[in-house]
Every structure is written in C-alpha cells, then in structure tokens.
Amino acid sequence: MSRAVPLLDALADVGADRVRGGYSRHGFDRADHTLREWFTGEAEARGLDVDVDRNGNLWAWWGTPGPGAVVTGSHLDSVPGGGAFDGPLGVVSALAAVDVLRARGFVPAKPVALVVFAEEEGGRFGVPCLGSRLLVGTLDAEHARALRDPDGVTLAEAVRATGLDPATLGRDDESLARVGCFVELHVEQGRGLVDLGAPVGVAESILAHGRWRLTLHGEGNHAGATALADRADPMLPAASLVLAARRAAASVPGARATVGRLVPTPGGTNVIPSTVDAWLDARASDGPGTRRVVEDVVAAAREAAEAEGCTLSVREESYGGTVAFDAGLREVVSGALGGVPALPTGAGHDAGVLAARVPTAMLFVRNPTGVSHAPAEHAEADDCEAGVTALARVLAHLAGPSC
C-alpha cells in the first residue's frame, strides 16, 4: 500500500475546479489556506515544529533548526485546472518519508526540514516560484508587493489577509543559511521515465525559460457598425502572435513556445477590443535560444500590429536561465539509489531557483500519461511508493552520521 496516496486522497476535494476539471489552487487563496492548514496539522502530528518565513513559505523541522539542514518538499498550489500530483506529490512524499525513517528507528544527525513553497505556479500573481524567488532575492520585494491578481488584489493585500506582514517580503538570508542542500521530489512532466521503463529518476537540468506579457493596443468599437477598413482590431495581431510562437519555437532545436492565455478588453462578443493581453511562455536549452524565440515572436507581433493600425508593448514578467543541478549532489543521490536514470526537464521548479544558492537535486516519479498541468496528470500507486522509498533512502544518506 502506498504511503503517499492516502495523503493525496485527503486533499482530493480541496480546490477542485468544477468548470475546468482538475484543481485550481492559487497562492494565498481559500484553497491554499486549507492546504497549508492541512500540512501544518500533518507535520505537528508527527512532532515536527512548523514556522512560516517572511515570504509565506512553510517549514516543518525534524530536529533543531540550524545550518546544514537537509531540506525536502515542494508546493501545494496549482495552475488553473491542474492535476493532483504536480507539487502535492513532493509534499506528501516528504511526510511519508519521515514516517518510513521513523519506523526504522532512524534519528537524523543533521536537521531535516520539510518545506512548502508559496505560489510556485504563479497561477494567481503571474510570477512562478514566487516564494522561492523572494527567499533567494531574485525577485524584487517592492515589485512583488505591487503584483495584482485578475481581480485586482495586490500580493501585499493577499499576504496581509493571511496574517503576514507584506513589509517583510524579500530576500531571507537567515532562512536560506539553514539550508545545507535541497532535494525536491516531483511527478515527471513528460514521458522520459516511461520510455526508459524506470519508476524513479533524477533531474539533470532545467531549460532556460520565462514569461512575457505582450499587450496589443487598438481601438475599441462596435462590432456591427464599424466597417473592416475603419478598424484597428488588436485581436488580429494577437492571432498572428499565437501562430508566430509556434514558428519561432520550431526554428530553434528543442525550443518550446506557448501562448496559454489571451485576455481581450472589454471582452464583449459584439465589441472590437481596445486591447488584447497575451502571455508568452518560451523555453529553450540555453538563454540565447530562448531570447531568440521571444525576439522572433515580438517582431512578428509588432509587424502584424502596425499593419492593423495597432501598437505593441512588451513586459518580461519572469526569466530563469538554464539550470544545471549540482553534479556532486546528483551523484550522491543517484548512488544512494543504486543508480537511476538522469534526465533534463523543460519545467521550472523551486529547486531550480534555489540551485543558484545551495546544492539542489530532484527526484522524478514516473507519469504514465506524460501529461502535466492538466487533469490527466497521474502517477501509479506503486510508483508513488517507489518515490517515497527513494526519498527516504536519500534523506537517510544525507542526514545520517556518515554524510
């Protein structure tokens, strides 16, 4: 019987999205609050001491908090209409791994911490890995406080509503100094382990990736009373932008580009929009490749905008260069597991953010569908159990007296 699956089942009704399917759990919203309370209760039931850092990240400590801690965990929020495993599998596996180690009588020689990072997906405020970026200082705190969700609520207002002082947001050297290494378990977002026939693997690298907001400005007008020749319709260059993203990505080996969200204003069926906001997600094996994709998309969108009598403005909302996980830690983790496949990933993670400051590694659990960020995301119970076993083995090795 998998130790992780019952813990996941306890979350099955939290943030269920009846319209999109799957789950919509976003940072500092009601579902997120419920999930954070659940984690706190589970951790305290295991005798772990829980605290919240200045950026809203949760830490549950096995042993006295201090430098050199072995840290594991993930996140509990989701993309809109996301799956049940992305994020929560890493959190419940951390709890289950503690259970496994305690059942064996293991006593860590180093502090062990379980962490839940805030707003990893960026589903509410648009910036992925919000909690970890604030922690390491790669996201400016003043800029972060002013971020707004689709309803106009600022991050400052949202965190204040949870009892956190928004003035404390920002780089947290005190919390970061405690982390000796970080190992994040995650469901694989792709079919690498399926094709390799392996239930568990380790991460090698993360593609360079970012998000850009492209706003097309036109002239709002009546859909029936405005002749085609008199229009400055920003939806036309928006459509060109979507097609340009596919062409631009195809021109760079291994690149990906996606326009996953379009918001016309005012959004009426019989109204020519005055503006259209489009969010571009671009990824490639290195920074120059990613930048080339974005430049090509922007150039095509600008040309199409000018042809329609519209203008274009572009804002980079987030960017992260290629991450190569710590080779030494990866070897230690792989060695503790008797050798498992190593593979790259196109998905961003909190582990990738922390990699610039502390040694980090990732474990992947096989996803038989290869689908992620969608309701079909899945991991079999036996593979979840293999992940818990692997994580417990890694934690025992890293936090044991000989390491």
Taking each helix axis from N to C end, the angle separating 381-399 and 327-336, rounded to the nearest 10 degrees, works out to 110
Structure tokens at 320: 């992260």
Q: What angle do CA 324, 206, 244 make, to 5 degrees?
A: 135
Q: 3-class SS at 364?
A: strand
Per-residue tens of pLDDT for the chain, all 403 residues: 568 999 999 999 999 999 999 999 999 999 999 999 999 999 999 999 999 999 999 999 999 999 999 999 999 999 999 999 999 999 999 999 999 999 999 999 999 999 999 999 999 999 999 999 999 999 999 999 999 999 999 999 999 999 999 999 999 999 999 999 999 999 999 899 999 999 999 999 999 999 999 999 999 999 999 999 999 999 999 999 999 999 999 999 999 999 999 999 999 999 999 999 999 999 999 999 999 999 999 999 999 999 999 999 999 999 999 999 999 999 999 999 998 999 999 899 999 999 999 999 999 999 999 999 999 999 999 999 999 999 999 999 999 987 6
Q: 3-class SS at 217?
A: strand
CA–CA separation, 115 and 90 (whole Å): 10
DSSP for 228-270, written as a single string: GGG---THHHHHHHHHHHHHHHHTSTT-EEEEEEEEEES--TT
Q: Output the pLDDT for position 401.
A: 84
Evaluate whether 331 touches 154 at the Cβ level (below 8 Å). Answer: no
Closest CA to 24 of 10, 34, 37: 34
CA–CA separation, 186 and 327 (whole Å): 19
Q: 3-class SS at 397?
A: helix
- Beta strands 179-187 and 360-365: pairing type? parallel
Instruction: Please tell me the number of Cα atoms within 13 Å of 246 on its side-chain side.
Output: 5
Buried/exposed 341-371: b ≥16 CB within 10 Å, e otherwise:
bbbbbbbbbbbbbbbebbbbbbbbbbbeebe
Q: How many CB atoms lie within 10 A of CB 51?
A: 13
Structure tokens at 346: 């196109």
Q: How many CB atoms lie within 10 A of CB 335?
A: 12
Structure tokens at 131: 């909690």
Buried/exposed 101-129: b ≥16 CB within 10 Å, e otherwise:
beeeebebebbbbbbbbbbbbbbbbbbbb
Cα–Cα distances in angstroms (integers) from residue 23 to residues 17, 18, 35, 108, 358, in the given order = 5, 8, 12, 35, 31
Evaluate whether 56 touches 101 at the Cβ level (below 8 Å). Answer: no
- Beta strands 69-75 and 360-365: pairing type? unpaired
Name residue 315's beta-bridge partners: 213
Q: 3-class SS at 61?
A: strand
Residue type, 66: G
Evaluate whether 48 touches 61 at the Cβ level (below 8 Å). Answer: yes
CA–CA separation, 140 and 92 (whole Å): 31
